[in-house]
Structure 1
Amino acid sequence: MIEILKHNYRKINTGYQKLKVYYSINWTKTLYFNFKKFPFSVAKQLPVFFYGDVKFTSIGGKIEIKGAIKKGMIGFGQPYEMNTLHKGIAEINILGTLVFMGHVQFGKDYFMYIGEKGYCEFGHMASLASNAKLICMERIILGNYARFGSESQIIDTNFHQMMDTQTGEKFKLTAPIFIGNYNYASSRVTVLQGTTTPDFCTIASNTLCNADYTSFGSNILIGGIPAKFLKDSISRDWEGEKAALDNYMMM
């Protein structure tokens, strides 16, 4: 009897939490975005939800969802973290190509800029937590379950031309970023141009990544400024968390 009551309570509580989420949706921006960017057959299913205030500086680029379409599968400003308040500073500027390979979450007060020649791809269950920044001028790929903590930033450009003052050689302005599957990045992680991480990579808080780390193999911990190899045979317990994570994150 007690187990039945517990089960019923969990179902009621889950339903209540999802109802709260639906009430927090910015329906004006949600409807506008979906019907502006997708064919009617896709738009009517409302695959993208916006929560809280957001500025659409531009959504003129190409936005594509690959895979089965489900309501609310992509959440901008999705309330999945401990903090509950929006500052109202979220902004997206999509001039290039943005591709979603499945369910994706963005926390509160994010900033996204994809340049005209930029290509950005989010794997299934990839995420950027609150106050994250993503700037893509060339190419950024996040694998499945590549999840970044709050105040992280992923930037594939120097913005300004840098040069060798002795030789006059000009350095490349941009370089692709490739984040592997099942990567877990803690808070305030910075990923710069030319970064490549292996599958099952953990990135410590306050780390700056700017190199190819795949030679260290999978199941590694990197950290520091710049990032260095710290430990092997370590990973987030993805199998232990996966069912709960999927149930909590997916609408």
Structure 2
Amino acid sequence: MKNDIKKQSKELVKKCPWLFNTLKGIRIVFFYFQRVNLLKTLYYNFYFFSFKQAFKLPLAVGWNVRFRGTGSIILSASEIHPFMLSFGVLKIDDIESNSDKTYISNWGNLEFQGYAKIHPGAKLWIFEDANITFKGNNTIGARSIVASEEFIEIGFNSGCSWDCEIFDTDFHFLIDVSSGEIYPKKKKVFIGDKVFIGNHVNIGKGTKIPNGSVISSWSKVFGSFTRKGENLLIAGNPAKVVDTGLTMTHAYEEALEAECEQKMKNKQRK
């Protein structure tokens, strides 16, 4: 039954693409109208971006978003699209709430090279002369904190789930009581492309995560993992590589179909 409905829908889209695009547009407008503060959206687009960029309204600002600081937000994407950036707007229903306050505390530089979603309750904290760079198609989950005193780079198509912490600083210095040596409190963080960070993960200063990796929930991650190759499964406290050759997929329907086909083949063999 569901397959028949899908086939009919696909045929209707092919015959009447204009109808599909119109209905999709109405749905998007209604969706954003409920969650976007239009006055804030207009104000901050023209406050942060050039007129040429701001005219296309690349930034959608939710009702409970607070901006603090005198830093800059840079949009360096090759193409500018409406609402390609969203702060405190998009959420996971029944898990996240738009009532959670989202804070953008920026005294440095916040750069977006493509699409990005900052979920409700998340906090971006950029100190003076520090930088956070999102390379595109990024997601920061609800109540997560990304704080930089130096430099954090989050690769293309990478993101974190809810209640995560990504810091490039310890905020305080440590001193060796015998030698008197003072250890540096900050070090750059690099998160590669297509990295998925599970909920409640803590990532500390100096961390380097290779492309395609998955970090398991509740892990405490410190140091560089780039020598281990790519597509790593990282887990634990302290975190270590527990498996290789694995990566995250969002192709749920294709994965489920492949799983069903495999089960059918196994039954036929029996």
Residue matched to 2:49: 38
The Cα shift of 1:4 comes to: 6.2
1:143 to 144, 151, 155: 155
Kindly indicate whether residue 191 of structure 2 is the aligned counterpart of residue 179 of structure 1: yes
Kindly indicate whether residue 72 of structure 2 is the aligned counterpart of residue 62 of structure 1: yes
CA RMSD of aligned residues (A): 2.3
**Cα distance between partner residues in 2 of 1:172 and 1:158:** 9
Count of residues paired in the alignment:
240
Q: Deviations over 1:142-185 (max 9, x none)?
A: 00011100001111111111111221111101100000000011
Q: Which runs of 5+ in 1 are unaligned?
A: 244-251
SS of match in other structure, 2:206: coil
Residue matched to 1:161: 173
SS of match in other structure, 2:183: coil
Residue matched to 1:247: none
* 8 Å Cα contact 2:202/2:218 also seen in 1: yes
Distance 1:56 1:6, change over 3 A: same
* 8 Å Cα contact 1:153/1:189 also seen in 2: yes
The Cα shift of 1:235 comes to: 0.9
SS of match in other structure, 1:124: coil
Q: Deviations over 1:10-33 (max 9, x none)?
A: 958855652223331011221121
**Cα distance between partner residues in 2 of 1:145 and 1:4:** 30
Larger Rg: 2
TM-score normalised by length of structure 1: 0.88
**Cα distance between partner residues in 2 of 1:14 and 1:107:** 22
**Cα distance between partner residues in 2 of 1:110 and 1:94:** 14
The Cα shift of 1:78 comes to: 2.9
SS of match in other structure, 2:104: strand
Residue matched to 1:48: 59
Q: Which has the higher contact order (CA 8 A, sep 6+)?
A: 1
The Cα shift of 1:62 comes to: 2.0
**Cα distance between partner residues in 2 of 1:133 and 1:29:** 22
Q: Deviations over 1:127-148 (max 9, x none)?
A: 1111110111100000001110
Kindly indicate whether residue 16 of structure 2 is the aligned counterpart of residue 6 of structure 1: no
- Residue type of the partner of 2:121? D
Residue matched to 2:138: 126
Kindly indicate whether residue 83 of structure 2 is the aligned counterpart of residue 72 of structure 1: yes
Kindly indicate whether residue 221 of structure 2 is the aligned counterpart of residue 209 of structure 1: yes
Distance 1:87 1:168, change over 3 A: farther
**Cα distance between partner residues in 2 of 1:186 and 1:192:** 15
- Identical columns (%): 25
SS of match in other structure, 1:36: helix
* 8 Å Cα contact 2:91/2:97 also seen in 1: no
Residue matched to 1:248: none
SS of match in other structure, 2:243: strand
- Residue type of the partner of 1:102? G
Deviates more, 1:145-154 or 1:60-69: 60-69
Residue matched to 1:246: none
Distance 1:40 1:202, change over 3 A: same
Q: Which runs of 5+ in 2 are unaligned?
A: 14-18, 255-270
2:34 to 23, 36, 39: 23
Residue matched to 1:218: 230
Higher helix share: 2
* 8 Å Cα contact 1:52/1:88 also seen in 2: no
TM-score normalised by length of structure 2: 0.82
**Cα distance between partner residues in 2 of 1:3 and 1:90:** 38
